[in-house]
Each structure stands twice: as C-alpha cells, then as structure tokens.
C-alpha cells in the first residue's frame, strides 16, 4: 500500500467526512492545546520523534504534537482570540489555539507531518504552508487546491517535510480579512542532522500590522497602507520581551513579513550574516555582512551572529514610523512654532486634543498624556537612563556573561563598565 494512496484516502475522508472527523473521530484527533498568556516560553527539548534544537518564539510558544506511527500529528484551531498587544492594550484578533500569531510548528526534515485544522471562525478558512514543497492539493489555496474549511469542520493536511528551513503558515481564504485579523504562524523545519546549522539561541517572530483606532479593540480590515500598529508576533514595545542571550552563544534570529510593506530590521552592536530565506539556507560562500536586513512582503529572513559583545542593544525596524504606537498621521508639524497658548485654549475645549510639541515629539514621551482607554502611548518604555520613546517594532537584545544555558529570563538593565557610557561635558 503506497503512502500516496493513504494520503489520498485520508485527505478525501477528511474532505468528504469532515463531520465524521469532528464527531465520531473526535477521540482520534490529537489535542489542540490553548495558550492564553503572551509571555515567551523557553524552549523544551522534543519528548519524542527525532532530536532537534528548538526555537524560541518571541512572546509565543511551540505547538505540542503526538507521534502516530510514522506521522507527527499537530492540531490547529482557527478561532477568534484576544491578544494583549502590550500591558494596557488588548485587541480582538483571529488566530490559532488561543493566540495570534498561532503557535510555532517545529519538525525535522524527513518527518511525515499530519496537521489537523479545526475551524471555529464565523467564516470558512484554509491553511497555506508558505515555502513548503508539497503535493499541490495540500497547498491550502481555497478553491484552487481544496474546498474551504467551513465553520465547525476539521480538515487534515498531510505531507513529508522535504528540506529544513524557515517557513510560515497563514490562510489562503478571505486572505485580506484573515491576515488583517492576525491569522498566521511560524513553521520551522529543523535539519535532519541536528548538528547542522546549529545555533545556541534561535529566535523566531512574524511581523503583522493592524489598524486599530485608539480607544477601540478590533482592527479595521479594509485598511491597505495606513496601519497604526506595527507588531512582532502581535506585540508592540514595551510589550515585546527582550531577546536574552548568553555571551559567546551562536545566535539566529528568523523573521517573516505578513504586512503590506517591507521592514528593514536593524540590530545595534553587531554585524551579522543572512544565513537563510524561505527558499532555504544561504551557502556559506554567498553570505555577506549586514547590520540591517530588509524583509520584503511575504518574505522570511534568518540571520546569525556570535554574541561577543555584552550590552543592551536596540533591535528594531528602521522605518521610524514603525517604532511608534497608534497615532494620528494628520498631526501638523509645529517644530519652531510657539503654539502653547493656542494648545492650552484648545485643551480647555477638547481635553484629549494632542498637538506635536514645538521642539519635536519628545515632550509627548515625557508627558503623561491622557489617552483613550485600551490605547498604548505612541512613544513609550523606560530604560535605566530615562524614557526610551519607542513603540511598535522595537525591543532589546540583552547579551550577558554567565547566563545558564536555557535561561531566557530578563536580566534587567546592563551594568556598564566604568568609563563606557557617553557623558556630559561641563
């Protein structure tokens, strides 16, 4: 009996007998665990299957699986979720297994993978496995490669992971709406020899953008370009956890872009090499040094460095509007204009009226502005020297000496050696 026939048999059964799968077959489905918290889960070694070095999903987690003969079985549940973007700001999104983005799926090249997808959304969906080489009918494009998964139904996807690399999953059904609502997840296929492409710390995140009017909770799904929340794994600074790294570790960071514009990712304190794309690993001879890697729409990039230099290093999108939280874009520029009297008079009439400062926007960061409910400040976060004045796609890479191997807990602010901090000259 060929595996291809099994394939067809099982997937046809899943398509035609979806109700069967969800009722009579319920006991045979693997668990679909839910995760409610948005903190970064330290990686745990695979309990079964072939060995691999797990990734760390920034402010997220990896999906458990079960082995069923040769199959590694996962269960995704597409559903409405509430995602905390940062403390004090929660969004109504759509995602998988309790979160947006969904859990990271990790497997090994050569694995036979069966992924059940149960749809608890109010409309149909599918899942496309971005970058994976697979049979055309498993590619997840609604209408083209399969009928859409109706609400309440469960489908099974089955394929063998042909190669290792950096991939993602997202719907290919009512795509504009479902991605604007946060439906996406990371997919990592580890090398079949776990010593190949080794990194001691391997961080992953997806970039998504939302248009959520200050004071509201649900994204406007028809927005094409003018998004006001730029997120990594549906989190905004200061809600993004730091990337905690032990000095001397080999580090890989992998990012995918499912927004409507490109994001030049910039890391301070280091130069790095781009070592992978969603097409595969970059051959060693073809790598070149960078400090910024542009991730275009629908692309993924993996880059690596040796964490030699201790410190608190900024890591952010270099589009400065993407390191801000929700703001009005029609605020007039008033640099050089003394408008304090006018602003005071308008403020008497409209208490939440915001104007740009006459010296810049820094006074926004320092001022405790009254904000609509459920809205994060535009420029926020505090460091050991004062306000950081950032939001959105910004976090800190914290490289420290002597951390334990699997310690990802926040070590606090860097203790600079004496004489190594910029200082005021009198």
**Which spans of this chain sit near Cu ion (rule: CB under 5 A)?**
263, 317, 319, 322
Query: CB of residue 403 vs Cu ion: minimum separation in angstroms?
Result: 29
The token pair at 188 is: 């990592």
Q: Which is nearer to Cu ion, 323 or 380 (CB)?
A: 323
Query: CB of residue 324 vs Cu ion: minimum separation in angstroms?
Result: 10
Place of tokens 């800190």: 396
Query: CB of residue 59 vs Cu ion: minimum separation in angstroms?
Result: 17
How many Å apart are CA 58 and CA 237, to the nearest integer? 12
Q: Which is nearer to Cu ion, 317 or 371 (CB)?
A: 317
Q: Which is nearer to Cu ion, 117 or 267 (CB)?
A: 267
Query: CB of residue 317 vs Cu ion: minimum separation in angstroms?
Result: 3
Query: CB of residue 211 vs Cu ion: minimum separation in angstroms?
Result: 15
Half-sphere exposure of 70 (CA within 13 A, CB side): 10
CA nearest to 326, candidates 81, 91, 80: 91
Between β-strands 105-108 and 292-295, what pairing exists: parallel, antiparallel or unpaired? unpaired
Q: Which is nearer to Cu ion, 179 or 317 (CB)?
A: 317
Supply φ then ψ for residue 68, to 5 degrees: -135, 95
The residues, ordered by sequence, that sit 6+ positions from 137 with a Cβ below 8 Å of its Cβ are 11, 145, 146
| ω into 71 cis (within 30 of 0) | no
Q: Which is nearer to Cu ion, 287 or 321 (CB)?
A: 321
The token pair at 158 is: 């089955």
| ω into 101 cis (within 30 of 0) | yes
Half-sphere exposure of 135 (CA within 13 A, CB side): 15
228, 231, 363 from 322: Cα distances, Å: 8, 8, 19
Query: CB of residue 39 vs Cu ion: minimum separation in angstroms?
Result: 24
Q: Which is nearer to Cu ion, 108 or 317 (CB)?
A: 317
The residues, ordered by sequence, that sit 6+ positions from 87 with a Cβ below 8 Å of its Cβ are 238, 239
Query: CB of residue 357 vs Cu ion: minimum separation in angstroms?
Result: 24
């Amino acid at each position: 009996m060929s595996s291809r026939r099994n394939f067809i048999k099982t997937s046809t059964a899943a398509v035609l007998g979806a109700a069967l799968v969800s009722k009579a077959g319920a006991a045979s489905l693997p668990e679909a665990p839910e995760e409610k918290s948005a903190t970064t889960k330290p990686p745990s070694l695979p309990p079964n299957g072939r060995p691999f070095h797990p990734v760390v999903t920034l402010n997220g987690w990896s999906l458990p699986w079960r082995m069923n003969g040769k199959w590694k079985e996962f269960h995704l549940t597409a559903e409405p979720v509430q995602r905390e973007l940062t403390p004090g700001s929660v969004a109504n999104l759509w995602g998988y297994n309790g979160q947006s983005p969904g859990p990271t799926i990790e497997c090994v090249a050569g694995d036979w993978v069966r992924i059940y997808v149960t749809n608890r959304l109010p409309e149909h969906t599918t899942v496309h496995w971005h970058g994976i080489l697979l049979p055309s009918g498993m590619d997840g494009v609604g209408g083209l490669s399969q009928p859409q998964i109706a609400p309440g139904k469960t489908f099974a996807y089955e394929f063998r992971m042909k190669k290792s690399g950096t991939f993602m999953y997202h719907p290919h059904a009512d795509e504009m709406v479902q991605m604007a609502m946060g439906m996406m997840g990371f997919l990592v296929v580890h090398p079949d020899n776990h010593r190949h492409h080794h990194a001691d710390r391997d961080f992953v995140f997806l970039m998504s953008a939302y248009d959520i009017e200050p004071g509201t909770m649900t994204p406007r799904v028809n927005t094409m370009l003018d998004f006001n929340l730029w997120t990594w794994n549906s989190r905004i600074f200061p809600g993004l956890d730091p990337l905690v790294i032990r000095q001397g570790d080999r580090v890989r960071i992998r990012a995918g872009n499912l927004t409507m514009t490109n994001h030049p990712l910039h890391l301070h304190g280091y130069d790095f090499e781009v070592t992978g794309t969603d097409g595969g690993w970059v051959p060693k001879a073809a790598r070149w040094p960078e400090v910024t890697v542009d991730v275009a729409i629908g692309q993924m990039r993996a880059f690596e460095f040796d964490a030699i230099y201790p410190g608190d290093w900024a890591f952010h999108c270099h589009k400065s509007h993407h390191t801000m939280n929700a703001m009005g874009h029609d605020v007039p520029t008033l640099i050089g204009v003394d408008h304090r009297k006018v602003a005071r008079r308008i403020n008497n009439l409209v208490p939440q009226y915001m104007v740009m400062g006459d010296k810049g926007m820094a006074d926004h960061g320092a001022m405790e502005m009254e904000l609509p409910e459920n809205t994060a400040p535009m420029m926020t976060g505090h460091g050991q020297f004062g306000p950081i004045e950032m939001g959105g796609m910004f976090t800190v890479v914290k490289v420290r000496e002597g951390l334990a191997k699997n310690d990802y807990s926040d070590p606090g602010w860097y203790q600079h050696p004496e004489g190594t901090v910029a200082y005021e000259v009198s």
